[in-house]
Amino acid sequence: MAPDTARIAHLTHALDASAVLELFPSRPRLLALGEPTHGEDTLLDVRNELFRHLVEQEGYRTIAIESDCLAGLRVDAYVTSGTGTLDEAMAHGFSHGLGASAANRELVRWAREFNVNRPTSDRLHLTGFDGPLEITGAASPRQALTALHTFLTAWLDADGLLPCTAATLDHLLGPDDRWTEPAAMTDPSRSFGRSPEAAELHLLAADLVSLLDERAPHLIAAAGREAWDRARLHGRAATGLLRYHFWMADSSPARLTRLLGVRDRMMAENLLALAARGPVLAFAHNSHLQRERSSMRMGGERLEWWGAGSIVSARLGAEYGFLATALGTIRHQGVEAPPPDTVEGLLYALPEDRFLVDPRALAAALGDALPAPRVSPWFGYFGLDPAHLAETDGLVFVKDLTQS
């Protein structure tokens, strides 16, 4: 029998920074907040308020969101040093259409304001941690490979060290449209990812990344830690993109699963690199950040893979914290009030508009007979899986989403 509303109400807390951190024995090095759907500014407003308090009150100094990690360098440059304008950062610093969001614009504006007159060591960073990928395909590795090669050429006595010249890279890369061919997402034969040129580029990229690590003491001393970190980001993006293109050219049944896994591995590597520099707040879809194996249906097929959160959690252990978000309605998308026998339905019956729940205490209150997962009538919303409650550190509930 499900617990009554009064018992559930005792498990809820105000949604603020202190209540969130009370869920943990110590402050997580990487604290991730997931969303169950994309494109809803109400959820981003909730994120902004919570992250603002965690930055101001708890010392977090990096915010990473589910956006292109290379484009995000432009946003970070604006936020940390005022390079460019807010309009330019929004127009060119995001992928997936995120630059058009009013809530994202407000986050960037506030982060820049926070950094004014603040010492460099205490400035807030705001960047992306996704690969340079879209659902329809992946970018050319040109930008990442060229930036990595340029950095090594500038800071090394290159006689005999670099495995190739810039001209060789340019020749092997060829025109970018061979990499960004839209038909390759559904037709592996249209992908350039298993061509002889791509295979050679994969080896060269690995060698350039190895050289970057082998010469780290010299490179960090000569160029500075920030520039070396940026070169490593370019190295991760280059090798990740080449691997992604390789699997785009695959025709086996494993193709889509591997593409999902490669993307989330890129996300995980970027998050781990950021966390190595200091405490990080991350924001992405629940499926990317949860500890359990992720799943989705695509083309009538159920796909399962290990998401970025599961990879990071395996590496960081208790230093990784995950807050999932669940919600009641998205009426402009046909998602009405949740059935009362679902977890969302139990929470929807409470009077507050948004609050925090201890999911492990909620799972204990529900007992062995967990409610069935909520079935969404709209493909864009992923309902909460009650089986995940015990592996989730906090649950944010938002009652109703209004159309942005």
Q: What is the mean pLDDT of residues 194-218?
A: 98
Q: What angle do CA 333, 52, 13 make, to 5 degrees?
A: 70
> What token pair was written down for 352?
């507050």
Residue ranges of domains in the chain: 5-60+279-400, 138-267
pLDDT tens track for 245-283: 999 999 999 999 999 999 999 999 999 999 999 999 999
Would you tell me which CATH number, out of the four given (3.40.1190.20, 3.40.1660.10, 3.40.47.10, 3.30.505.10), belongs to the domain 5-60+279-400?
3.40.1660.10
**Helix residue spans in 276-323 (DSSP H):** 286-289, 308-316
> For a pLDDT cut of 70, what percent of the chain falls above it?
98
Q: What is the pLDDT of residues 213-225, one digit of tens each?
A: 999 999 999 999 9
pLDDT, tens only, 326-361: 999 999 999 999 999 999 999 999 999 999 999 999
Asked if pLDDT for residue 373 goes beyond 60, the answer is: yes
Tell me: pLDDT of 376 over 60: yes
pLDDT at residue 1 above 50? no
Take residue 331 and report the two structure tokens written for it: 């009426």
Model pLDDT for residues 127-161, shown as the tens digit of each residue: 999 999 987 889 999 999 999 999 999 999 766 79
3-class DSSP state for residue 88? Answer: helix
Sign of the Cα pseudo-torsion (247, 297, 41, 350, in order): negative
At 3 the pLDDT is 63
Tell which residue, 364, 332, 371, 369, has the closest CA to residue 348. 371
Q: Measured between alpha carbons, how far is 257 from 260 in angstroms, rounded to an integer?
A: 5
- Output the CA torsion 279→285→287→289 (10° steps): 0
pTM of the predicted protein model:
0.96
Strand ranges of the sheet holding 125-130, from the earlier edge strand across to the other edge: 12-13, 354-357, 394-400, 320-329, 30-35, 280-285, 62-68, 125-130
Give pLDDT, residue 76: 98
Instruction: Kindly state the average pLDDT of the residues 225-230.
Output: 97
Residue with the bigger pLDDT between 386 and 301: it is 386
